[in-house]
Structure formats: structure tokens, C-alpha cells
Amino acid sequence: MSQKSKKHHEPFIHIVKRDELAPAKAWGIRIGAIVLGVLLIGLISSILTGEGFFEVYEIMFRGVFGRLFEGKTNMLWKFLQDTAILLCLGLAVAPAFKMKFWNCGAEGQALIGGLAGMFCMIQFGGKLPEFFLVPLVIAVSIIAGAIWGVIPAIFKAKWNTNETLFTLMMNYMATQLIAYYVYIVGGGSNVINPVSTGALPVIGNLQYLTNILIVALLTVAVYVYLKYSKQGYEIAVVGESQNTARYIGINVKKVVLRTMMLSGAICGVAGMLLVAGTDHSINTNTVGGQGFTAIMVAWLGKFNPAIMTLMAGLIIFLRTGAAKVADLNFLNSSFADISVGVVILLLVGCEFFIQYSVRLRHGKKGV
Amino acid sequence: MIVEFISRAILLSIPLLYGATGEILTEKSGHLNLGIPGIMYGGAIGGVIGAFLYENACGNAAENMNPILTILIPLLTSILFSVLMGLIYSFMTVTLRANQNVTGLALTTFGIGLGNFFGGSLVKLVQSDLPSIALTKTSKIFKAELPFAKDLGWFGEIFLSHDFLAYAAIAIALIATFILNRTRVGLNLRAVGENPATADAAGINVTAYKYIATCIGSAVAGLGGLQYVMAYADGVWSNNAFGDRGWMAIALVIFALWKPSMAILGAFLFGALCNANNYVQGLGTETQELFKMLPYVVTLIVLIITSLRKKREHQPPESLGLPYFREER
Amino acid sequence: MANQAAIELKNITKTFGSVVANKNVNLRANRGEILSILGENGSGKTTLMNMISGIYFPDEGEIFIDGEPAVIASPKDAFDYKIGMIHQHFKLVDVFSAAENIILGLEEQGRYNLKAAEERISAICDQYGFELDPKKKIYTMAVSEKQTVEIIKVLYRGADILILDEPTAVLTPQETQKLFAVLRRMREDGKCIIIITHKLHEVLSLSDKVAVLRKGEYVGTVETAKTSEAELTEMMVGKKISLNIERSEPKDAQVRLEVHHVDCSNREGTLVLDDVSFHVNAGEILGIAGIAGSGQRELLEVIAGLQKSDSGAVLYHNPKTGNVDNLQNKTPLQIRELGVRLSFVPEDRLGMGLVGNMDITDNMMLRSYRRGKSAFLERKGPKDLAEKIIEDLEVVTPGATTPVRRLSGGNVQKVLVGREIAASPTVLMAAYPVRGLDINSSYTIYNLLNQQKEKGVAVIFVGEDLDVLLELCDRILVIGSGKVTGILDGRTATKEQVGLLMTKTEGGEQK
């Protein structure tokens, strides 16, 4: 009977957009993806290293949070510091992404912010009093980041120049500027010796606490800004529909410029924290590609700083933990990047099952 | 010295050309694949693994190695790695409709990690003193040049002294141009990238085109990684040595206005710009670093000019970066 | 075999989420015949045809081609059955030439040869009387040329069954006549032609049979020769309903808004508003009638400050200050700052008037969020307003925190109109405010407009249903191809008068 229509079969599976999945269920799927990813990493690690499946997790936990080796510093602070920096960059790109402006330039904006701060630390160190120099370093970093961020926005607003590609290009221009500066200052040695003038004050003996506190404040600020401020509301409207924004009289170009300035400024903060807060030096690898990881933090956290904090923590946990597992077993430390990549890909992929449902077609004719 | 400069610029341009041609094929299907830098790492390490295994299988003796297999095995393992990564990207963005930028960036993280992981592991395996692994025997065969190239002076050095993958890059770019502009498949592919709904209504299998274009594009880009290791770096893999070339390849796509034939010229120009610092007299190292910024600056200028002039033929594929779902309402 | 239908649908059903677009639809069309599918906007005509052309796949039911059961899972399958669809929104690649678009996706034998294709296209043009340059790029073409490309595209593929979705919506009357001549020639050629439309006079002048859909359901098929406009209307809208819309006399009319000689061109540089002049009084409803796409949208957007005009003036008579302000080429914000209380219910509700992903409260805020000096939002007022609108207008929603995209069309519109009215406007513009709404929601909207009018608001109502326009409006402005072709008194005008002015093309013919 069905021979005539041999060449046209009914589609085997059929994909339909879901009405709406309850938030609890949606998060259930996401957590499921994370668990799956973590299990996968554990499995691969234990195959590669010969460690027992559960020992792998023990190493990860102790490597991230505990004192794995006698006499070494508690790793927890390092974990919080790394999370803070990644989160800070995520907070920077979140407003831009919420506006549907693909700021792939967090890396460069942070580097330029750090570079400007470094410049002040070196140039005015010893010449200006510290109480004046530190705020100057902070301000200059923020302004430099904002400028680097607003340049692509100007072209986007004026001529609709593709911002993804524009911001990507600006990353590498920033990298080269730093290479140039490092060479000048370092006198050909490719390193700038740590400069302590103009550095952020250390609270107590805790090297990272200042950074962590600043990012914690920033997290709350960005949360409030996006959710409760008029400007945050404008960002949401522009991101959802530029037509609606125009209809209610929002100046879309102004919002784009302002938001990118903010995005760049927060990147500048991240760069400043790295340079004036931790490293007291700069090189082309200071941000270390975290500007890109931050995009995933913002995306996976749905631009909500609270969820983003968890995402940043998760990524740093995986990265540090997997690196520790690799380290102890003479594997290459890049195992960490693979682990993070696997979990992110799973998380990005699982969104599909939240938005769509897959239905199998009932074979009516008994096919 | 000019001859050396040009010859060197060509050598530098080849990985970029592979990457750009691969990315153009992918972008023509509407995919802005920011995973290309990772895929190029994947292609490179795939080739390294293949070559490493074959060299070991031959007992590390050059006389045991069959030249054809020496080339074929790394070539296939390289393509295998990059196509697998292309498949991951296609599956995520086409089937699971994930965001292209996020998927691409995650894939780049993954790919660079993959490259460095296997690379680093191999280094540990051979217990080398240097943080690198040398496949000089394989490289020698990859780099075999025409026997009479040396006798032809400057002409020989510029045009005939390169490895076969370099010529293949140019051939692939030209073939890609031909396919895009002169064949039905190319017409269909361009339609998919411009307006998938239209292509779909015209009976084109949009999903298949997106998958195949992305995977072939990934394979081509991955060859760029292979060529870099085997020819440019003389078979020496060291972690992160490939650097930012993947991103530069993406820049090159814009510079070439999405035309593979233009990418040949563009790649040469980029190669020359990257290289110029070594040949301009009296440059300090610091200025050389600034010189390296030139390819990006030039790309930005091209990007701005194309957006200014708004000539329709010079714009990115219209649906670049957008997902397609037929029953979306 | 002779009486075998070229295409037959049996019990086709298609749903989108909770919306039933087609329910148990049956249909037959023969070769050498033109079948019209008639139905109001939103009656499921396009969804039905999309299932024949493979864009959608039916949830239930069967399709037969020449008596054989057929599974059309993709547009490619449709081509294999020689079905060609000309979509309302053209499916063309802008940067391609006409010829490239036409041969797109074809699996012809032999080498890719654009030249040969161009020659064949010219031959098809000659056969049916089209005019087309195959080398011309789509983005340089006028709308009617693009449509020609679409039609040739399906003919080139040897389609026997042609489906045209609202083909005349974008055409001038002359172009429409040309198209009809071509379609008749195709009918003589033995092709089966299905044309979707909601224009009765076209149905009557062109087709052999008419199938009528109403709200996704199949009402019946009649032969054109044996039917009348009245019968078709009744089938289309259901029982003949006397609209019974209240209409009070405008009281002491004052001019509120004047539009003087406004010209406006679109991005391609063609004139979409040509020397438009009229005025609206406070306390009246001015209806705007016209074929879709005659410049209605641009006119409202020029007034609202969303589109720039080339010349002319938009004068607002401020009832508070007595000032007359020119609103031309001011931004919406500048207009607001002048103290003009202008509310606008745009045609594109979820794309412009509201943000689909935001909840009702946040959508209320669109108009009011700027209030106050604080840098932070005040959500209390908007939340109260949202709850008031939900209660007063009987919006069916789980609550004020539901994203508006999850509401049904009628409820979305109540939210939007409710918000616009809450701003206590002096001018209220509404573009197709009842499109896609059920009868009850439509009446809610009519009543709201009437209430506003009685409050002394100058109401501009762009509609498509002539009966409604004639019963609701005090005056009716008719627009045709961007020109005002006439302004009629709503109480004395007849449907025929309005219809005639709508299709009049040259303003200059009137002496």
C-alpha cells in the first residue's frame, strides 16, 4: 500500500517548540547536564590516570578547596580570587549581551584597562603620594577600558558595523600594544618586574581579599542595575526589540554607546584588579583568554549576576580541579581546558531540551 | 633579501589561507564559526598524533617509512580530528540550535585544550628535554620540494620552493571559488547562508548543506594547522606555538570579503605584514610588536569600509549567526 | 480518471502549541481550474497552503495528488509532486539575480549553465506574457517584479499546481489585471491554480470555484458562477451579523491634529506617502481605509515620530496651552516633551507595541518608566495598572507576571490598548486593532475606542473591515498608493464608494 510513496517517508522524529517549561524543570535539565559533564570528566580522568573513579573527585575537591599538600597555602582563597576575576569579566559582558551586542572584546578591554593602570603605577610611582596614586590607577584603568569598549559601539551605532568581528580584532590590537609596552619597560626581557607603587591595599594578610570584596560589591551593583534601574530596563528593551525601543522613544544609539562604555569600564576594573590587585605587573597573557570564558559565564548565567556567580565558580572549580588531577598524574594541565569545554558544550546543548520537545511520530499505517 | 621576504611571507600566509578558506565555506552556510581557532589546533594535533604513531611504528627509522603513508596518515588523522570538531559544532548549532558564538568559543577552548593536552602528553611520553616534540622525518617528506627549484634562482625560491600543502592551499581556495560561483552546489550553499527560509522553500536540504559546509570548512581549516606544524615549524610541536593564527584567519575572511580567491591575496598580505618587521631596516623589537598589529588594523579598516559602503555584494551572508528552524512562528 | 482531483485534502488538522490553525479541512482542486481560498485574516488559509507546499507538516489528515496518497514532508517533496507556491512574503535571495533565484535548488542534469537557464526563462516570459530581465538583481527590483520572479520560479520547475498567497496585496490595479491575465492563460494551459485572498471582487472575477475557511475550519466550496457576494460574505464571516456598534454624534468638534502635504519615501527611495493632507477633530473617530500596504503604516509612524518625512507638517493643537506645535521629524521623546499626549497602538503588537518576553507589569512600564527623578524603576504603579487592566478588560492570564507572548492574540491586544488608553491621551492612533481577534474581544476594543471619543480624544482608526469602518467612524479617509483618494462622511458613505476610492490609483483622474 505504501509502496507508491516509497521515496517520501513521514519524518521519524518531529521537533516542536515547547510552550514553556517550569523553571524548576528547566534547572533540573541544566543541573543534569552539569552532572553528566562532571561524571564524564571523572570517567575520562580515571581511565587516563588509573585513579579510582571516586578518588578523582576527592583530588578535585581537595585540590580546589583544601590544603592538598602540607605546608602549602590554603587553595580556597585562590579559588575565590579566580572566580572573582572571571565573574568580574562576566559582569562586564552581561549588560552588552543582554542588549544583544556581542561584545567578544572583554579580553582586550581588560588588557587595556590593566595596561593603563600599569602605566600609571610605573610612571607616577614614587612621584605621587599613594593615597592619590591608587585612586588614579583605578580611575585611569576604568576610563581606558571604557574607551576601548566604546569604539566598536560607535561604529555599530553609526554604520551598523559587525560588532562581533570588530571586538575580536580589537583584542589582538590590545595584545600587541601590551607586547610593545612590556618590551619598552622590560628592556627586552619580556617581563615587567613587579611594581608595588599604586597597588591596591592588602587587607590583613589576605592577598586576594580586596579583589574578592570589590567583585562582590560589583556583583550586587550589576544585579541591581540590570533589574531595578531605568537604564537596566532600557537595556532589556533594546535587547528584546529595537522597534519597541524606538516606539517608546528610547534613543537606541545612546543606549548602545552607554552600555558598551559600562561594559568596557567593568572590564577595565577586571584588568585593574589583575594588575594593581594581584600581579603588580602585566604581560600579554595577564587575562589569559578569560575574556572569552566570561562570555560563556554570562550566557549560561542568563545575564543574572546571581546565577553567573555559580557558573563562574563551577568553571573555576572544574578548571582548577582537573588541572590538579592532571598535575598529580603527570598529565598535561590542558586537561583542564578540555574539561571546561566539555561541560560548557553540554550546558549550551541542553538548552535545546528546555526550549523544544522531541516527539516521535506514531506510525499510523504500521510502517 | 626581497626574495627571501616574499618566500617567507608566502610560507606564513598558508595556515591563514587554509583557515580563511575553511571559515568562508562555513560562513557561506550562515555559520559564524568562532571555533575555527580551536579546530585548527585540533587539525594540527591530529596530524602530529598520526605522524608520531607512524614514526614509532617504523621504529623511528627514516628508511622504513613509506613516503606515501608518511603523508597520508597524518593527513587523514588531521582531517579526522577537525571534522569531528566540525560535527560537534554543527550538531550543537544546527540540530540543537545552540547559540553560534557561544558554541564556537567553547569549541575553541576545547580545541586548544585538546591540542595542548595531547601535545604535552606526547612530549612527556618521549621524555624530551625540550617542551616540544619533533617529527623531523615526517616533516622532511612533507616539505619535499621540486628537485629543480634550487636551480631557478629567485623564481624557484618564490614560486617553487614550497611544500605541497602550500600549493594545495591555493588550489583549494581556487576550487572553493569555482564551486561557490560556478556550480549549482555553490549557488545552493550561498542561498542557505543568505536566506535559509528561501533555500528551504526551493527544496534545498538546509540542514545537510549546513552540516557538510561546516565539516568541509573545518577539515580545510584543520589542514592549516597541519601545514603549520609539518612545514612552517619543521615538524616541531610545542604547546601554544600556533598562537593566534586562527583568529587572524577569521579576520582574513572579512578582509577577503568572503571570497576565497581574495583570501589568497589577503593571506599573502597578512603574511607580509606579520613578517615585515624582520625586514624593515632599523626597527627596534618594540616597534616590531606594533608592526604585528597591522593585519588587525587593516582588517578593521576593511570591516568599517564595507559597512560604510553598504554594497550588497560585499556584505557578510545575510543570515550569518542566525539559527534556522522551519516551523518557527 | 477525468474527474480525479489534481489535489485533494482530507481532514487536515494542524496545531501550533495550543492554537488550532486548521481543523478537519477538506478541499479539492482540479486541473484547468482556478480555485479561490477565501477567508478573513487569521482563518488559516496560509497555514493550510504551507502544508501543501511542505513548509509545515500536518498533525492529522491526508493529502492526495491525482488520487494517490502523498506525503509532503519538505518543499522538495512538493516540487516532486509538481506543486509550486508563491508566498506572500517573497522567498528570494536579495543578492542573487532573477535567474539564479529561479534555478535555485534544482537538480538538473548536466553542467551548471546560467546562460541556458536565462534563455529558458525568457521563453517562459514570452509564453505567458511576463516582462523580466533574468540578470537583474533582486534587491534592485520593484515588488511586482519580485512576484514575477516567484511565479516564473515555479513554472520553470514545471509546476502543475500553483498556489498563490495573497498575490494582489502588493500590486496596483493595473498590475493585478496583468497578473490575472497570466493566470487565466495558465488555466487554459491545463494548470491547477489555487489563489488565497480575502478580496471578494477578485474571487468573483477570476476563479471557477471558491472554498471558504473560517477560523481554521472548512466551511464549504461553491461554484463562482452560482454564488453571490452576499453568500460568500456570509460563509466567510459566519451568520450575517449586524454589527450594532454604538456611534454618538461628535460634540463641538475642535481641530486636534492637522497633517499638511506630507511626503515620505521608504529606504528604496520610492514615495510611500504622496502629498497627504487631512485633519482630525477632538471627539471623533477618523477611519483610514485602504488596501494593505498603501501607506497606512508610514502615515501613523510619521505622526508618532517613528519615521522621517521628506516634507510637510504635522500640527498639534494643544488643548491645554492653545499652542500649535509642529511634530514633523521630531522623535517620540521630543513629542512627549512638548506635552503632546499621543498614544499609538501599532500593527505589530509583539514586535513594537509590547515586549513579548517581558511580563505585563514590565510592559506597562514601557510608557511610564521615565517618570520621576530617581535612577531606579518604580514598579508599584505599573503593577497596579497591570492588575487594573487585567480586571477591567477581562484579560485571561495566570497573573501580572506572565510574559505577554504567552497570552492569546485578543488578550495581548487588550493589554496594549489598555496601556495606551491609561496614558489618558488626547490623540489615539490604532492600526488594525482587531486583526486576528475574536468577536468578543473586537467589541471590547470598539467600545474602548468609542469611550475615548466621548472623552474628547481624537481617534485615528486604521481598519480593514469596511463594515466596521462604516459603522464606527465619523469620517473615513481613503488612502490608495500613498495618496489620499477621498474623505467621506461615515454616516452617509456606502461600501461601494469606499471600495472604489480604495482601488483608484491616480489621484489626478479626479477632476
Nearest residue to B3 (alpha-carbon basis) of B180, B149, B175: B149
Q: Which tens digit of pLDDT belongs to each residue from B94-135?
A: 988 888 988 998 999 899 989 988 888 888 777 767 777 888
CA Rg, chain B, in Å?
20
Instruction: Give the pLDDT confidence score for residue A362 in this predicted structure.
Output: 52
The verdict on residue C471 lying in a domain is yes
Q: Which amino acid is at C481?
A: S
**C100 contacts on B by Cβ (under 8 Å):** 187
Q: Is residue C417 part of a domain?
A: yes
Q: Considering only CA atoms, which of B136, C460, C347, C351 is closest in space to residue B128?
A: B136
C40 pLDDT tier (thresholds 50, 70, 90): low
The CATH number given to whatever domain includes residue B254 is 1.10.3470
Q: Is A55 helix (H, G, I), strand (E, B) or coil?
A: helix
Query: Is B325 a member of any domain?
Result: no
In order along its 367 residues, chain A shows pLDDT tens digits of 333 333 445 556 667 777 667 778 888 889 999 999 989 988 888 888 777 888 888 888 887 877 655 455 667 888 899 999 999 999 999 999 999 999 999 999 999 999 999 999 998 988 888 889 999 999 999 999 999 999 999 999 998 888 888 998 899 899 989 988 988 888 777 788 888 888 888 877 777 888 999 999 999 999 999 999 999 999 999 999 999 999 998 999 999 999 999 999 999 999 999 999 888 889 888 888 899 999 999 999 989 999 999 999 999 999 888 888 888 877 778 888 888 989 999 998 888 888 887 776 554 433 3
CATH number at residue C484: 3.40.50.300
Q: Is the pLDDT of residue B62 over 80?
A: no
Together in a domain, C445 and C315? yes
Place of cell 608520531: B52
Residue C1 has pLDDT above 50, yes or no: no
Assess whether C220 and C281 both reside in one domain.
Answer: no
Write out the three cell numbers for A190: 619580556
User: Does residue C279 belong to any structural domain of this protein?
Assistant: yes
Of the candidates C78, C70, C206, C207, the residue with the CA atom closest to the CA atom of residue C153? C78
Residue C436 and residue C312 in one domain: yes
Residue A364: per-residue pLDDT? 41
Last residue of a domain, one of C180, C211, C237: C237
3-state secondary structure of C144: helix
Structural domains of chain B, count = 1
B312 and C95 in contact (C-beta within 8 Å)?
A: yes
Strands across the sheet containing C19-29: C68-70, C60-65, C7-16, C19-29, C217-223, C209-214, C33-38, C192-197, C161-165, C83-86
Residue B116, in any domain of the structure? yes
Secondary structure letter of residue A280 according to DSSP: S
Residue C110: what pLDDT? Answer: 66
pLDDT tens readout for residues C379-392 = 888 999 999 998 88
Highest mean pLDDT among A72-81, A111-120, C37-46, C100-109: A111-120
Q: Does position C57 have pLDDT exceeding 80, yes or no?
A: yes
Q: Are residues C30 and C171 in the same domain?
A: yes
Establish how many alpha carbons lie within 13 A of residue C276's alpha carbon, considering only the half-sphere containing its beta carbon. Answer: 31
Q: Would C511 be classed as within a structural domain?
A: no
Question: Binning pLDDT at 50, 70 and 90, where does residue C265 land?
Answer: confident
Choose among A5, A230, A243: nearest Cβ to C375.
A230
Say whether residue B182 is in contact with chain C using an 8 A CB cutoff: yes
> What cell numbers appear for A40 in the block?
564524564
Domain assignment of residue B172, yes or no? yes
B328 in a structural domain = no
Segment 176-195 of chain B within 8 Å of chain A by CB: none
Question: Would residue B322 count as lying in a domain?
Answer: no
**CB-neighbour burial class of residue A361 (10 A; exposed 0-12, middle 13-18, buried 19+):** middle
- Element (H or E) spanning C384, and its range? helix C380-392
Contact predicate A123/A136, CB 8 Å = no
The shortest CB-CB distance from C352 to any of A8, A19, A247 is to: A247
CA distance C289 to C481: 12
Per the domain annotation, does B231 fall within a domain?
Answer: yes
Q: Are residues C452 and C498 in the same domain?
A: yes
CB contact under 8 A, A176 and B289: yes
- Last residue within a domain, chosen from C401, C423, C445: C423
Q: Show the cell assigned to A357.
A: 520537545
C130/C232 same-domain check: yes
Residue B181: all three cell numbers together? 560561483
Q: Give the gap in angstroms from C-alpha B177 to the nearest C-alpha of chain C.
A: 15
Q: Residues in chain A, how many?
A: 367
Q: Measured between CB atoms, does C19 come within 8 Å of chain B? A: no
Give dist(CA C99, CA C134) in Å, integer. Answer: 5
Mean pLDDT, rounded, of chain B: 86
Q: What's the helix, strand, coil split of chain B in %, to 5?
A: 75, 0, 25
> Is the model's pLDDT at C170 over the cut of 80?
no
Q: Kindly state whether B315 is in contact with chain A, defined as any CB-CB distance less than 8 angstroms.
A: no
- What is the tally of structural domains in chain C? 3
Does residue C208 lie within any of the structural domains?
Answer: yes
CA distance B6 to B276: 10
CB contact under 8 A, A334 and B290: no
CA distance C246 to A309: 58
Q: What is the pTM of this model?
A: 0.85
Q: Which residues of B touch C103 (CB under 8 A)?
A: 184, 187
Question: Which amino acid is residue C421, in one-letter code?
Answer: I
In Å, what is the CA distance from A299 to each residue of A305, B105, C35?
11, 12, 50
Neighbouring residues of A189: CB distance < 8 A, sequence distance ≥ 6:
none
For B109, which of A164, A340, A349 is closest by C-beta distance?
Answer: A340
C95 touches chain B (CB under 8 A): yes
If asked whether residues C309 and C364 sit together in one domain, one would say no
| C108 and C172 in a common domain | yes
C:129-188 residues touching chain B, CB 8 A cutoff: 137, 139, 153
Q: Which three cell numbers stand for residue C321?
A: 496651552
Q: Which of C237, C271, C287 is the last residue of a domain?
A: C237
Judgement on whether residues C404 and C439 belong to the same structural domain of the protein: no
- Given a contact cutoff of 8 angstroms between Cβ atoms, the answer to whether A261 and A150 are in contact is yes
Interchain pair C94, B182: CB under 8 A? no
* Rounded distance between C-alpha atoms, residue B288 and residue B292, angstroms: 6
Is C454 part of a structural domain of the chain? yes
Is residue C248 one of the residues assigned to a domain?
A: no
**What domain range includes position B289?**
2-314
For residue C403, what are the domain limits? 355-423
Q: Looking at the domain assignment, is residue C303 inside a domain?
A: yes
Q: Say whether both C412 and C469 belong to one domain.
A: no
Domain shared by C363 and C493, yes or no = no
Confidence band (pLDDT; 50, 70, 90) for C239?
low
Examine residue B329 and state whether it is found in any structural domain, yes or no.
no
Cα separation, C274 vs C507, whole angstroms: 10
Task: Check whether residue C398 and residue C333 sit in a common domain.
Answer: no
